[in-house]
Amino acid sequence: MQVYGISDKGKTRNKNEDRIFYTDKPIGKLPNLFIVADGVGGTIAGEIASSFATEKFCQCIIENKDDDSPLEILAKGIVEVNKYIHYKSTNSYEFQGMATTFLAATIINDKIYAINIGDCRLYLLSKNTITQITEDNSYYNEMKNILEIETLKINKNILSRAVGQLGSLNVDTYEVEYTKDTNVIMCSDGLYKMLGDIEILDIYNTTQDVKSYINLLIKEANQKGGQDNISVIGIG
């Protein structure tokens, strides 16, 4: 397994509110773990929220001793993280209102197990195809299933869910097939808002070396404007 990731500030932001974590070594009961978190823009301490969430989640994974499935391990972890971030944000003026998106995955044999809250994305890539696996948790996505697209006046960037919210957290879970000729990309919105699916696929097709195409994706997203922090993990 080749794994490589970068979190880049981009060209217009003063700070990087994204955080990534990846390891191809066992962590807790999981054989590997990959995380992309994006502190929610416009809130206080977004960069702190993504850091806290990533660190707390890894701690939860390590401490889980239950006989859970991979998806249960991931989902239980993020539920605990949500409580932790919400507690921090409501009990400290410094962290008031902080929240983060969160995407985590593990690969076991021929399956990818993933959880998602927010608008980070997981894609599957092969030579001729790119497939978006996760669905963005946005009000636009929720309302487009109810109303005609033409009538929607909703900003596509407004999230309907984030880690740190009050109450129970609805966690999207995914279990998909994984083959050795397939690569995985996990990214924050700073990548796909600069590069369309075809552009991502074209860059992937220039080289099968994970580090090389991840570096190229970051470079191209910055050349297109780099309007947000850009985080990408590639697994091949």
- Our measurement of the distance from residue 96's CA atom to the centroid of its chain's CA atoms, rounded to an integer in Å, reads 23
pLDDT per residue as tens digits for the range 26-46: 999 999 999 999 998 666 688
**Which amino acid makes up residue 158?**
I
Helix (H/G/I), strand (E/B), else coil: 120: coil
DSSP 24-68: SS-BTTBS-EEEEEEEPTTSTTHHHHHHHHHHHHHHHHHH--S--
- The mean pLDDT value of the chain amounts to 92
Confidence tier at 94 by pLDDT (50, 70, 90): confident
**What pLDDT is attached to residue 145?**
62
pTM: 0.93
Show the domain range for 99: 3-235
Task: Supply φ then ψ for residue 21, to 5 degrees.
Answer: -145, 135
Cα Rg, the chain, nearest whole Å: 17
Confidence tier at 62 by pLDDT (50, 70, 90): very high
Where is 21: in which H helix or E strand?
Answer: strand 18-23
Q: In total, how many domains does the chain have? A: 1
CATH number of the domain enclosing 138: 3.60.40.10
**What pLDDT is attached to residue 24?**
97
